[in-house]
Amino acid sequence: MNPDRTTHQLLAIVRELRPDTDQSGGLPGEGAPAIEVRGLTKTYRHPWTLRETAGLCDVSFDVRRGEVFGYLGPNGAGKTTTLKILTGLLKPTSGQARLMGRDIQLVESRRPLGFLPEQPYFYDYLNGPEYLEMVARLSGLGAREARAAAIRWFGRVGLGDRPRLVLRKFSKGMLQRLGLAAALVHDPALLILDEPMSGLDPFGRRDVRDLILEQRERGVTVMLSSHILPDVEALCDRVAIVLRGRLERIATVGELVAGEAPRVELRLAGQPMLEWPARFAGEMDRTRSGGDTVLTLHDAALMQELLGWLVSQRIEVRSVTPVRSTLEELFMAAAEGAAIQAVIPAESRRRSA
Amino acid sequence: MNALLIAQNTFREAVRDRVLAGILIGGLVLMALTRVGSVLAMGEDLRLTVDLGLSSISLLGLLVILLVGTSLVAKEIERKTIFNLLSRPLPRPVYLIGKWAGLTGALALVALVLGTALALLVTALGSPQHIPAIAQATYLAVLELSLLTSLAVLFSALSTPVLSALYTLGMFLAGQWCDDLRRLAVKLPAGAREVLATIADVLPNLPLFNMRSLAAAGDVTGLAHLGLATGYAVLYCACALALASAAFESRDFK
């Protein structure tokens, strides 16, 4: 194989594979936001000491109609607090929010809403269809319609073979599926899902992913929080990262990834002994893998130059792979950054004292 | 409509709960045992049977309220089942009214079963003329229990199951003595008199629902008494539920 030809072919492929940096464009069907959050703040006051703890600080964002919106953050960051305020379970200390244009203070704002709480709990003495029928009717469906929807969704989430089993005998995964059916039973226009993949096996996760994508196809707006970042990356149009009660970042997954310096991995045949030009020093790492040499170039802008140099040195380049940071890596970096920022002011305060 | 759904669900929960079935069976056994005690009643066996039978309706109903009613809302909050309900277009006061109505329905069923059993027993003893009085007394017992349920819902919405059980029991006991408190208030100096009279007015006037002695003698009460008791119970329940709703409206569910 002619190394020059292979390298040129690879260069052409790389040009095609180069991540599209213009992914921040609008989504189809943009209109009034499905969820509008403005300056939402929640503080908890200890009943005895009256000491206040901030749960959420001045959070503002919009979720567009028809998009899947990921809401990420470590435990205690304020994710569930936000979702509970939106669903009427917590009262905000200040700020406003609207669901489908309706103020969350109004009970009617929850009519187009389907909500899956984290680790949903149900009535032990009911069976699945009974429960689904009840919640469907609470969301406004008529008796006959609710019964039909309950049976349909009970089967749709893979529980249809156990219609008489009481809920106290359900496994954790079965309860999670039932919770999802309860959120969907009245065909809501807006879904808020708190950790929808929690407690599910890989098959269950795949089913839930498919269900969420199906809802997106139907035009349903989905806001979800999850710790399973590959799922978020696969599902979400945009992602918000919340840390210590503050919204740190909000962007499309493409924007988040595009914002990072792109890396490129080059696999060279064998382990050539080379004297690397100084301009590449510090810009790449070299490792050995299966008898080949793997170069990880931290600055993709240098790739053409490096490839040209390798060709001139008659080195066979087996592959060139652009490497994107995963959402998980970006999330961890953001969390660590926020942790450092929280420590620095404390340190400086201590020094000045 | 939604209140009816919550009531239906609460009724179903109570009926499927083993506590209710146990108490119902216990009540029937207790009623049968009154026949054993009547041997010692020296000719007053029918009176004793009716009195104990009607007392068992009230006391077993109270037991259901203490065991089920006082955790009616608190258990839902503790077990987070309330998240699935209040995240729907369900106003919080409607939820509370539904819980109260559902348990009141279950208590009415208990009272109906025990009252019917008592009526059958007195018929078997050759005194069917007691049945109208038993029916009236049973109706008043249901009103009394519905009133206590509204208090249980109020306390359950604000407190833990144990504390709300204690508060409800306290209100039941204090309510039995509210006539005595009123009589005592008259003898006190001004100031203390008004305070005690107000307390007596706020406490549920439970003697209003007690016609056991009358029924034991086979006597019926007037429609005015039944109407007054009904009006009082409706008003008291409305006040207790309004208070519960006001407190529940601003509550956070973490």
User: Which one of B2, B19, B76, B88 makes the best mutation probe of the A interface by having the most chain A beta carbons within 10 Å?
Assistant: B88
Minimum CA–CA partner of A119 in chain B = B80
Minimum CA–CA partner of B248 in chain A = A89
Q: Which residues in chain A are closer than 8 Å to B254, comparing Cβ atoms?
A: 84, 90
Higher pLDDT, A116 or A275: A116
Look at residue B209 and tell me if it is in a domain. yes
B252 contacts chain A (CB < 8 A): yes
From CA A86, how far away is CA A74, in angstroms rounded? Answer: 19
Task: Please state the rounded mean pLDDT for residues B136-156.
Answer: 95
Q: Provide the phi-psi class of A52: left if phi over 0, else alpha when psi is between -120 and 50, else beta.
A: beta
Partner-chain residue, chosen from B17, B89, B250, that has the shortest CB–CB distance to A107 = B89
- What's the pLDDT score for residue A343? 47
- Torsion angles phi and psi, residue A120, rounded to 5: -65, 145
pLDDT range class, residue A229, cuts 50, 70, 90: confident
- Buried b or exposed e, range A205-228, using 16+ CB within 10 angstroms: bebbbebbeebbeeebbbbbbbbb
Q: Are A40 and A96 in contact (CB under 8 A)?
A: yes
Find where tokens 């503790």 sit: B78
Look at residue B199 and tell me if it is in a domain. yes
Partner-chain residue, chosen from B17, B84, B87, that has the shortest CB–CB distance to A88 = B87
* Nearest C-alpha neighbor of A214 from the set A238, A180, A239: A180
Task: Please state the rounded mean pLDDT for residues B214-219.
Answer: 88
Domain boundaries, chain A: 3-19+261-323, 35-257
- What's the pLDDT score for residue A52? 83
- What's the pLDDT score for residue A13? 42
Partner-chain residue, chosen from B5, B79, B81, that has the shortest CB–CB distance to A138 = B5
- What's the pLDDT score for residue A341? 55
Q: Which residues in chain B are closer than 8 Å to A191, comparing Cβ atoms?
A: none
A169-201 tens-digit pLDDT:
888 888 888 999 999 999 999 999 998 887 778
B12 contacts chain A (CB < 8 A): yes
- What's the pLDDT score for residue A16? 39
* Nearest C-alpha neighbor of B80 from the set A112, A224, A338, A123: A123
- What's the pLDDT score for residue A138? 93
- What's the pLDDT score for residue A55? 85
Task: Please state the rounded mean pLDDT for residues A109-116.
Answer: 92
- What's the pLDDT score for residue A155? 92
Q: Which residues in chain A are closer than 8 Å to B2, comparing Cβ atoms?
A: 137-138
B2 contacts chain A (CB < 8 A): yes
Is the model's pLDDT at A311 over the cut of 90? no
Task: Reply yes or no on domain A35-257 having CATH 3.30.470.10.
Answer: no
- Torsion angles phi and psi, residue A196, rounded to 5: -70, -20
Task: Please state the rounded mean pLDDT for residues B13-17.
Answer: 84
Contact B88 A126 (CB under 8 A): no
Contact A138 B90 (CB under 8 A): yes
- What's the pLDDT score for residue A12? 44
Partner-chain residue, chosen from A89, A138, A139, that has the shortest CB–CB distance to B253 = A89
Burial label for B231, CB within 10 Å (0-12, 13-18, 19+), is exposed
B171-185 tens-digit pLDDT:
999 999 888 888 888
* Nearest C-alpha neighbor of A179 from the set A224, A237, A141: A224
State the average pLDDT for chain B. 90
CA distance A268 to chain B (A): 56
Q: Check the CA dihedral B231-B233-B236-B237 and report its sign.
A: negative
Is the model's pLDDT at A30 over the cut of 50? no
Domain of residue B110 covers 2-249
- What's the pLDDT score for residue A302? 82
Mean pLDDT lowest among A113-117, A218-222, A335-339: A335-339
- What's the pLDDT score for residue A10? 45
Contact B88 A110 (CB under 8 A): yes
pLDDT range class, residue B133, cuts 50, 70, 90: very high
Q: What is the DSSP string of A102-139?
A: EETTSGGGGTTEEEE-SS----TTSBHHHHHHHHHHHT
Regarding an ipTM greater than 0.85, the answer is: no
Output the pTM of the full model: 0.79
B15 contacts chain A (CB < 8 A): no
Task: Please state the rounded mean pLDDT for residues B222-245.
Answer: 96
Q: Which residues in chain B are closer than 8 Å to A104, comparing Cβ atoms?
A: none
pLDDT range class, residue A29, cuts 50, 70, 90: very low
Task: Please state the rounded mean pLDDT for residues B22-32.
Answer: 87
From CA B254, how far away is CA A49, in angstroms rounded? Answer: 19
- What's the pLDDT score for residue A23? 34
Minimum CA–CA partner of B80 in chain A = A121
Look at residue B254 and tell me if it is in a domain. no
Task: Please state the rounded mean pLDDT for residues A242-257.
Answer: 82
- What's the pLDDT score for residue A336? 67
Mean pLDDT lowest among A59-68, A181-190, A342-351: A342-351
Contact B84 A88 (CB under 8 A): no
Give the A:B interface size as CB pairs under 8 Å. 72
Burial label for A26, CB within 10 Å (0-12, 13-18, 19+), is exposed
pLDDT range class, residue A15, cuts 50, 70, 90: very low
Task: Reply yes or no on domain A3-19+261-323 having CATH 3.30.70.
Answer: yes
pLDDT range class, residue B43, cuts 50, 70, 90: low
- What's the pLDDT score for residue A11? 43
Higher pLDDT, B147 or A310: B147
Is the model's pLDDT at A18 over the cut of 50? no
User: Which one of B84, B245, B250 makes the best mutation probe of the A interface by having the most chain A beta carbons within 10 Å?
Assistant: B84
pLDDT range class, residue A137, cuts 50, 70, 90: very high
Please name the residues in contact with B15: beta carbons below 8 A apart, sequence gap of 6 or more: B106, B109
From CA A136, how far away is CA A140, in angstroms rounded? Answer: 7
Top-confidence range, A99-108, A298-307, A325-334: A99-108
- Torsion angles phi and psi, residue B100, rounded to 5: -65, -45
**To the nearest whole percent, how much of chain A has pLDDT over 90?**
33
Is the model's pLDDT at A9 over the cut of 70? no
- What's the pLDDT score for residue A17? 37
State the average pLDDT for chain A. 81
Mean pLDDT lowest among A264-273, B39-48, B84-93: B39-48
- What's the pLDDT score for residue A328? 66
- What's the pLDDT score for residue B20? 85
Contact A88 B83 (CB under 8 A): no
Query: Would you give the DSSP letter of residue A169?
Result: G
A252-309 tens-digit pLDDT:
877 776 666 667 888 888 877 778 888 787 788 888 887 888 888 887 778 888 888 8
- What's the pLDDT score for residue B238? 96
Q: What is the DSSP string of chain B?
A: -HHHHHHHHHHHHHHHSHHHHHHHHHHHHHHHHHHHHGGGSTT-HHHHHHHHHHHHHHHHHHHHHHHTGGGTTHHHHHTTTTHHHHTSS--HHHHHHHHHHHHHHHHHHHHHHHHHHHHHHHHHTT-GGGHHHHHHHHHHHHHHHHHHHHHHHHHHHHS-HHHHHHHHHHHHHHHHTHHHHHHHHHHSPTTHHHHHHHHHHHS--GGGG--HHHHHTTPPPPHHHHHHHHHHHHHHHHHHHHHHHHHHHT----
Contact A89 B16 (CB under 8 A): no
From CA B102, how far away is CA B79, in angstroms rounded? Answer: 19
Q: Cα–Cα distances in Å, from A203 out to A157, A173, A209, A228, A233?
A: 12, 11, 10, 14, 18
Give the 3-state secondary structure of residue A22: coil
Q: Are B145 and B106 in contact (CB under 8 A)?
A: no
CA distance A147 to chain B (A): 14
Contact B87 A89 (CB under 8 A): yes
* Nearest C-alpha neighbor of A334 from the set A205, A229, A236: A229
Contact B88 A134 (CB under 8 A): no
Is the model's pLDDT at A239 over the cut of 50? yes
pLDDT range class, residue B147, cuts 50, 70, 90: very high
- What's the pLDDT score for residue A259? 60
Domains: count for chain B: 1
In chain A the beta strands, taken as DSSP E runs, fall at 35-45, 52-63, 68-72, 94-99, 102-103, 113-116, 190-194, 221-225, 238-243, 246-252, 263-268, 284-289, 292-297, 317-323
